[in-house]
Every structure is written in structure tokens, then in C-alpha cells.
Amino acid sequence: MISRTSGILVGASLFAFVMFSSCNGMMGKGGSDSASQKEALNKAIAENDEITVGPGGYKISIPKHMSVSKELNDDASLQYQDIYKELYIIVIDEPKTDFIKTFSASEVNEYDDKLTPEKNYRMVQMKTMKEKMTLRGEPGVKKANLNGLDAEIVDFTGAVEGVESDIYYKLAFVEGTKNLYMIMTWTLASDKEKNSDEMDQMIQSFKLSQ
């Protein structure tokens, strides 16, 4: 199986090298449901810039202090960063039918028909990550609904060879009508508490545009 190789830039000089499995290449802070926290989250999202990504068919709200990047991941349809806050986000999207066909093929045989496409996508991507970095404990996995879309949110801290600081990741794996999406946010582990709210805001704002 051939995987996409994607470089993830973490800060001005920190470089984490991660492999993302892709069929295209082959061919919250605890998530409280309190009304007050939801209201604060919605207010923060509303104050951000809503970005529409036409090819991926989605919208996502990005904090105004973050800027477009072209260096985080060659396969991402969206890339934003704030190198001063050490805060980053990418979105990777893939056609659902292509993913299912590729990973159901006999030579690959990594698709479980008993699970949803989103769960299969999450398992494939997380398997690859675990092979390319050292995780500091078992990732947390939580079911979520992002504006009507079935999703799972995964968070973990990992160490990458050649990078001194641990990195905190929060990801969402989302099943859309036609595509599967991976929303990946990250920051230095030491900045987790400082940036966690904005990581949640970006993920929770994700919705389809068509």
C-alpha cells in the first residue's frame, strides 16, 4: 500500500514528518454540553473568518490572527497557521467511494464493512500516525456531531523523531455526503491549555457548503 507523505510544520523551525494514508495517493476541552459554554463557543466562532473551500465542499471558521500557509501539507485543501501562538490547522478531504474501493481491495483488505466509512477512515489514519510517532498514552476518541455530520474527535500528545518538544493534536474525522474529511489541529504540548479553545472552535465550526 502506498501512502501520502506529508510534512507538518510546527512553529518556525519545528518539523514533524507524518505519513497520511490516502486512496488518492494510490491511484474540546472535555466537550462540555453546558448552555453557557455552547453560547461562548458559538460567539467565538461567529467572530472568526468563515472560509469556504469550494473543491472540498465545506466551510470552516478560522481565527482572524491565523494566516494562510502553503507549507504544512501538500495534500491539504486548507492550511492556516499562527507561528507565534504555535497553532496550526489543515483539512484533508477524500471522495468516500474512492476510499471504500481502495481499502476494500483484496491486496489492501483494511476496510471493515461492519463499521461506517468515517470509522474506517479514522482507523486507517490513526494506524499510520502511530507508526510514525511515539504517542504519550492512548488517544482519546469521542463521538461528535458537527453541524449535522457524524464525526469522531481524537486527541493525543505525540513525540516525533528530531523534534525536541511534544506536540498536542486534536483531530476530527467527519463523514460528509460525498467526502470524508480529516480536520487536524495541533500546537506544542506546553501550549495545549492556551490554544485548546480555539482548536475546539475551528473543529466545531466545520460544515458542508453544498
pLDDT digits (tens, 9 = 90+) for 185-205: 999 999 999 999 999 999 999
Give me the pLDDT at residue 7, please. Answer: 33
Phi-psi label, residue 148: left if phi above 0, alpha if psi -120 to 50, beta otherwise: left
pLDDT computed for residue 68 by the predictor = 95
* pLDDT reported for residue 114: 95
Read off the amino acid at residue 155.
D
Contact of 103 with 23, CB cutoff 8 Å: yes
CA–CA separation, 103 and 161 (whole Å): 28
pLDDT above 80 for 60: yes
Residues 12-22, buried b or exposed e (16+ Cβ, 10 A)?
eebebebbbbb
Task: Kindly tell me if the per-residue pLDDT of 110 is higher than 60.
Answer: yes
Low-confidence winner among 20-24, 130-134, 163-167 (lowest mean pLDDT):
20-24
pLDDT band of residue 14 (cuts 50, 70, 90) is very low
pLDDT tops 90 at residue 8: no
Q: What are the pLDDT digits (tens) for 145-164?
A: 999 999 999 999 999 888 88
Confidence of residue 100 (pLDDT cuts 50, 70, 90): very high
Q: What pLDDT sits at residue 61? A: 96
pLDDT band at 74 (very low <50, low <70, confident <90, very high): confident
Per-residue pLDDT band for 41 (boundaries 50, 70, 90) equals low
- Work out the percent of the chain whose per-residue pLDDT is above 70: 80
pLDDT at residue 56, as a whole number:
84
First and final C-alpha spacing in the chain: 32
The DSSP annotation for 12-67 comes to TTEEEEEEE--HHHH--GGG---HHHHHHHHHHHHTSEEEEETTTTEEEEE-TT-E
**Distance between CA 121 and CA 172 in Å, rounded?**
11
CA–CA distances in Å: residue 138 to residues 8, 20, 124, 135: 21, 19, 16, 7
Asked whether residue 27 carries a pLDDT value surpassing 90, the answer given is: no
3-state secondary structure string, 80-124? Answer: EEECCCCEEEEEEEEEHHHHHHHHHCCCCCCCCCCCCHHHHHHHH
Contact indicator for 69, 80 with CB cutoff of 8 Å: yes
- Comparison of pLDDT for 205 and 37, the residue scoring more: 205
Lowest-confidence region among 55-59, 90-94, 153-157 = 55-59
Exposure string (b/e) for 145-176, b if CB count within 10 Å is 16 or more?
Answer: ebeebbbbbbbbbbbbeebebbbbbbbbbbbb
State the average pLDDT over residues 89-116: 93
Enumerate the β-bridge partners of residue 157. 168
| pLDDT for the residue 33 | 54
pLDDT of residue 46: 72
